[in-house]
Structure 1
Amino acid sequence: VNKELNEQLKILKPSVVINTCGPFQNADYAVAKTCIENKVHYIDLADGRDFVCGITALDAMAKQNDVLVVSGASTVPGLSSAVLKNFKGEFSIIDSLVYGITPGQKTPRGLATTQGVLSYLGKPLKKSGDSKIRYG
């Protein structure tokens, strides 16, 4: 995939690549690295915490090549950020945000979505404040 991606980036010369090819939970950063090497901005829709947090390892390389690398630009951060921005003047302080998101009942669920959801089953979720440990 990376050789083909590298060739296509050289031919097409896009400004940005938006990676929607999940699941990201056990993925590597080959697509992002290939984009950086070709001086192409990179955005992905990753929802896997480890993947999103780990992409910071590419920060120096991205800065050296003068490109933006954004991971985790998915529905929840997009919607929660929009809601917070809209209501930021309404509250003096926001301690936490509790939200939920589900697909519509008629929305088809692809393999990547199913694999992503199943990857969290039975695993402990990080605690917030002094709450109990929860399991996915």
Structure 2
Amino acid sequence: MADDDDLLGELLRFKLEAAGHDVTIVEDGQSALQAARSGKHDLMVLDSMMPVLSGPQVLRALTEEGSALPVVMLTARKGQDDVLDALSAGARDYLTKPFIPDELVARVNTILKNEGNRVASADH
């Protein structure tokens, strides 16, 4: 989870951990990029407006590097261009603030389930 809003980060940590996920929170885009590159995470929830590097900059860097890490954008940016740019840059999903925390958890669960199915399919 990469968001510079501490309260939101803790709310999402609580919700995601209650759903059985391990959660790491970083507060800026550079830290998010480093976390993504570590290979220790199955999915990233990424805000658009963060210090150092923006969410879209992180997403573009990951896409250029060929990263398969699924990214869910969670942002206040609601413009059509913002949504389409993020999705075309490789975001698996896009959710705007304000949002329903349980909806985010459901979307994360669905993406991770689908990713698990892809890995299992590749093994056969």
Quickly name the TM-score band, shorter chain normalised.
Answer: 0.3 to 0.5
Kindly name which structure, 1 or 2, has the bigger radius of gyration based on alpha carbons: 1
- TM-score after normalising by structure 1: 0.35
Larger proportion of helix: 2
- TM-score after normalising by structure 2: 0.38
